[in-house]
Amino acid sequence: MRLVFMGTPDFAAVILKGLIEAKHDIACVYSQPPRPAGRGGW
């Protein structure tokens, strides 16, 4: 099955790994960009 995967939290990586191991065709992966670290986003 060909899939587009959307996920951000750490548990989404576990799901994606399972899909890859099950030999699904991952066409694209969407996630949010990293956020700035620290207080106030500086």
The confidence score (pLDDT) of residue 34 equals: 82
Residues contacting 36, CB < 8 A, separation 6+: 42
The confidence score (pLDDT) of residue 33 equals: 86
The DSSP code sequence of 23-35 is T-EEEEEE-PPPP
- pTM reported for the whole predicted model: 0.70
The confidence score (pLDDT) of residue 6 equals: 96
Domain residue extents for the chain: 2-36
Average pLDDT by stretches of 10, the chain with 42 residues: 91 95 96 81 60
The confidence score (pLDDT) of residue 10 equals: 85
